[in-house]
Chain A
Amino acid sequence: MRKGSYQTHNSDDLTVLQMRPASQVMQLERLGSFHQSRLSFMRTLVRRMVAENWQISSSVFDLDEHGYGTVVYQVEAKYGTFSYVLFSHHLDPENRNDRVIADQWDLTMALCEGTVDTEQLDFLRNNVPKQEAGRVDSRVLVLSRANRSARTFEYVVNELAHGHQPNVDLIAEVGYLYRTTAAYGSGKLGMADWEKVWTKHRDFARPFAAEMFTCYMLRHFSMQQADYLASQRAPKSAVVLHEDIKRYIGIGNSTGLGMAPFLINHPLLINQWIEMRETALATVVDASAAGVDEATLARLDTATQRVIQHLSEIVTADERQSNANVLLREELQLLHLWLQEQGAVLASSHHVWASLIQYAEQHWCIETQEVINTLLIELYPALVDGLEEHMWVDESHEVTPEMEVAELLEVIEDKYDWALAIDFSKCESMGAFWYRSEEKMEPRLGQTNIDMGIEKEMPLGIGRRVRECYDRIYDYNQDRPKQNVAHFIMHNPTYSGIVARIQTMAQSRYGDIRENLVHTDVMPIHLLRCKLSFFGVSKFDPRSRLWVRNTMFQGAPLISDFGKLLSDDWQFPVKPALKSG
């Protein structure tokens, strides 16, 4: 197999794909320009729920006239029964805080296996509202919480109570009725381990599927609660939310630095996600080798125009993102014109997508390039959707002790050339450090020589650790040539962790994220956006380089759509064409 090529995951199909190189894909700025794709976890979850016609109904709907109380949804998925338990609380507006350090919320929720009896419900009622301060058990898969939007929730309820539909422009500006501020799974706080979910609950046996479902159910509840409150306030005049508006309402999300260490501490998983996305891209590029039919070109054009409209409807105060969105729209407009003018010619051309990607790389910004890649993947569901079954990987870093030290040096020079290229003698190259705060162990970014805590630094500066390791190995190899890695570690045991990482990641296609994460000007927001794109969020609204607001499930089908034929075409949602109430 030649370098830069890849065989598809299907062993019967020996097509050799042209994969983008790690040196291009693993640049942090590019990862931070990724958008939702068909392989994103929200998309795959929704496809599964709709196709399998999951049955979801409320077995308990015990809310008072203010919307406070308890709701239990029973979920009949394809392989099992689950309960989504939700507690709605009164919360003074001054106590509403989206930060991880908050200790009160409007809503707290738990996704549980099986049905929930009275005893378990009491147990959950005593613990779920406390979130991190409580304890649950292994019957719980996910714990989450949410806060109301001060701008939309009361407004929507009032409009509905008065018999009007809410103004879609305001919905577009905000995008949701509730914001989730955390969704914990994977065994935290006594919950079921991922291993249990993976082996026992096939319905959620994909990364973050249970967490995404919890957010999807929050979206469902948010609209059901709005309808309920409107009818409580004005039983005679109230109307229910229009279904098109409901589909356009998502769930708000704020993501901060807490997500960043995950990408560094799970490099094999991130590599797997990226490799599947890149395989999807390479597959669709390959599919255009013999030409593309006009219908496919027209679909790309339609999707492009929708992205342009979607971008025009995003409200962000972040200058960098705002400028990026403007540039993105301008460049996508050029793509639209190109498709309009060249469509017939393109249909008879070979390798159209490869040519488009090459043109975009030469002329347009990274964000435009990655939007185009996402749109191309969107065109070929039959070719790429199967990759969603390959988004998980066993994560174990292992030393290869028999490798000669000289070979390890070569591996580092080959796979970590980006790390060796960083000049760590410059102050700015080590101008930042990551640490855990005593406030809920929240990860934070400090400034070297200014902030305290560097002695407790988290080892996230992979580039710097590789550089230090390389220098140590180099000296060792000079002193003791022809030794193996086992001997190097015997004499330098503190390097065993980074050696295991280097040797493990060297066997992966994409390897580590190529960025000095302890540089003064590091942009953690790119890390957050990368992970969020795999979750499937939209409407990125950075609040600083450290955290970003976004919207989940906006445009997604409703529970009432389950079982219907779905085109699964809800990315880059746009305002529904309705008259305001």
Chain B
Amino acid sequence: MKVSKNELTASLKKAFEALGFQPGDYYDAADMVVWLETHGFDGFDRLLAALAYLNTTAPIHADLVQEDAHNSVLDGRGTSVLLCGSEAVDLIRSQVIQGSSAGLEIINCYNRTFIIERLVKAARRNFAFIAYWRQLDYCVKVSITAVSELPEYQTFKMIDVFDRQSLRIFCGPDLEAIEKQYGEQLEFGTLVENYPKAKMADCYRNSVEQGIEIDQALWKTLDDLVAKILVESTADSRAGAGD
């Protein structure tokens, strides 16, 4: 079946609300899922992976465990980027304002691909970002220049073994400034794949023009979650609607 972007966003917000997300968190999480799905990043598959975790525990946010003027470390405590991605990007943005570029690592976090949407949104505020993380035996690198609409998405062979559940984000006024300041941490192996921006743009155009294909089982999963925030209807409650 097909759903519209607006309809999907509305359903996801309510579903995340049912999972205990707070206002703000459920807006951001819904936007992350929709962006990935509408740009060809398998947002629904990644959502299903996230739901396996989110369905079993109350929402957990990351802890700030280490910080200096330009660098921070967050402990994700096993949580999803759907929950800790926004605060991480907000924190690194605030550090850029105070200096030139800034770096941040979230350890022990999951569903890291969702961070792309947060970076794209923050880039509109005139920030550039580079982020990378380990995916199986590859390294995924995402970079976006300030004020761009779409990121570069590339996978590389690993040349440096780092924590499987870590996500590293670097932010600055432009990509050159980031690479100049953090060059040693931004060395990658052989390029394996480059996902072209044109494909992202095509996927998005099709999503808006024709709607978004969603598996009926997933749509029902969302509906079942949404049902948890609905209140039973009674004669008294109908009076509260103007009967």
Question: Are A442 and B241 CB-contacts (below 8 A) given A437-B230, A490-B91?
Answer: yes
Structural contact, B90 and A399, CB atoms closer than 8 A? yes
Question: Are A496 and B24 CB-contacts (below 8 A) given A137-B2, A438-B232?
Answer: yes
Question: Are A438 and B6 CB-contacts (below 8 A) given A193-B208, A486-B94?
Answer: no
B134 within 8 Å of A (CB atoms): no
Which residues in B have their C-beta under 8 angstroms from that of A441?
A: 226, 230
| Size of B's binding interface in residues, CB under 8 A | 47
Which residues in B have their C-beta under 8 angstroms from that of A193?
A: 4-6, 208
B211 within 8 Å of A (CB atoms): yes
Structural contact, A490 and B4, CB atoms closer than 8 A? no
B68 within 8 Å of A (CB atoms): no
| In the bound complex, CA of A495 to CA of B87 (Å) | 11
Structural contact, A187 and B7, CB atoms closer than 8 A? yes
A178 within 8 Å of B (CB atoms): no
B25 within 8 Å of A (CB atoms): yes
A96 within 8 Å of B (CB atoms): no
| In the bound complex, CA of A395 to CA of B61 (Å) | 26
| In the bound complex, CA of A411 to CA of B7 (Å) | 34
The 0/1 profile, CB within 8 Å of B marked 1, for residues 484-524 of chain A is: 11110111011111111000000000000000000000000
| Size of A's binding interface in residues, CB under 8 A | 62
Structural contact, B242 and A547, CB atoms closer than 8 A? yes
Secondary structure dominating the interface of A: mixed
B194 within 8 Å of A (CB atoms): no
Structural contact, B211 and A189, CB atoms closer than 8 A? no
Interface of chain A residues 417 through 467 with chain B (CB within 8 A) = 435-439, 441-447, 451-453, 456, 459, 465
The 0/1 profile, CB within 8 Å of B marked 1, for residues 140-172 of chain A is: 000000000000000000000000000000000
Structural contact, B233 and A438, CB atoms closer than 8 A? yes
Question: Are A435 and B231 CB-contacts (below 8 A) given A442-B241, A489-B90, A493-B61?
Answer: yes
Structural contact, B237 and A398, CB atoms closer than 8 A? no
A86 within 8 Å of B (CB atoms): no
| In the bound complex, CA of A399 to CA of B25 (Å) | 12
B227 within 8 Å of A (CB atoms): yes
B97 within 8 Å of A (CB atoms): yes
* Of the residues A137, A187, A196, A486, contact of B90 by C-beta under 8 Å: A486
Please provide the 10 A-B residue pairs with the shortest distance between their CB atoms, ordered closest to farther. Answer: A497-B24, A187-B4, A187-B6, A453-B231, A497-B23, A546-B242, A486-B94, A547-B242, A496-B24, A401-B90
Chain A to chain B contacts (Cβ below 8 Å), 8 pairs: A99-B241, A138-B4, A187-B6, A257-B242, A398-B125, A490-B64, A493-B25, A499-B24
Given contacts A190-B2, A490-B91, 8 further A-B contacts (CB under 8 A): A192-B4, A193-B4, A193-B6, A437-B241, A439-B233, A486-B90, A490-B74, A493-B22
